[in-house]
Amino acid sequence: MKVLCDRERLREGLALVQSIVPTKSTRPAIENIYLAATDDALELVGTDLEVSMRYRLDDVKVAETGTALVPGRVTADFVRDLASDTVELSTDGEHLTIVGGADTCTLSTTDPDEFPTAALVRFESTGALSIQGGNFAKLVSRTSFAAAKEQGRYAMHGILTLVEDQVLRMVATDGRRLAVASTPIDDTGAPRRAIVPTKAMQAMCRVIDDTLEQISLQFSDNQVGLKTRAAEIFARVIDGEFPRYAAVIPAETSKTVEADADLMAKKLKLVSNVTTADARAVKLTVAEKTMSIRGRSSTSGKAESQLDIDYKGEEAEIAFNPDFLLDGLRNCETDLVRLEFNDRTSPGKFTLGENYIYIVMPITADA
């Protein structure tokens, strides 16, 4: 294999692929990046056995075709720190040589046949749906923060992705809060459903470098694939039962608050400073024109702040974990945030944008 590449394009591709390559694995071969030089392109492939990425560089000069399995981190780091405009990659037996100007690096390689063949699968366009890249990335950003991170129900470690009635919907929950966002799409195929690991969704977003590009999304029995002009990503879907999220969303509410989203976030952050990890709660008291936010802890003391609101309903109070509220407000896409609820024991429904809601379960607090 011998190929000449633009250094910046190669650096970008190696960084993206290396981002999913494990630093340590019981299968040492997947700690490497698979290089394949064809007649007119260089392809970079990496996997952690749950997520696989193929990145294609077209603007290259291939003197000799071939494949190589190279140390991912070292290769990416060396190319990143080169100062040359172009980089030459060549293999000789069990070694890869990287040349950039006067700088050279020779690395030991691994037999390419040891790389998992499942990671070398190619995107199948038949039956794929098309969506603007920016819209896909926005759905992931709107929901991923609510997915479970701690050990627990495995299905909650992913984003439920649904295609039905010409709508693409994503849902994420950790059992205490729930984010739901959707966007219309031009698709008349059969309904599709998959729980995609959150880290896979985030990797898919990283390869979308043009928000206006139409990307392709493909569902199969055990994986979901995404294709852009330069990259293909495949993620093994999570086999589990996702919570029945629709049952948590209040159908009707008796109390509605509208507040300035930025101001509410500042007030919440201010008051939450006195709360502690074992008593992470703030109480919201709402009346006709005012919201009072109170927090306290036995060790730190107490704090209170107020802000003007528009409110419909009787005077009421409800308590939440302030971190959950701040997560939602950071993702709010409108100047005003709407909170709807029924009583202190019912879920709070936050409207954060068009086709975008966030449900937070209340907690018991003395404040």
| Separation CA 294–CA 291 (nearest Å) | 10
Query: Per-residue confidence at 127, pLDDT binned at 50, 70, 90?
Result: confident
Residue type, 198: T
The average pLDDT across 159-185 equals: 96
Tens digits of residue pLDDT in 239-294 = 989 999 999 999 999 999 999 999 999 999 999 999 988 889 999 999 989 999 99
**Which domains does the chain possess?**
2-120 (3.10.150.10), 129-245 (3.10.150.10), 249-360 (3.10.150.10)
- Is the distance from CB of 163 to CB of 180 less than 8 angstroms? no
**Helix 133-144 crosses helix 198-206 at what angle (to 10 degrees)?**
140
Average pLDDT in the chain = 95
CA–CA dist 348, 361 (Å, integer)? 6
Q: Is 166 helix (H, G, I), strand (E, B) or coil?
A: coil
Write down how long the chain is: 367
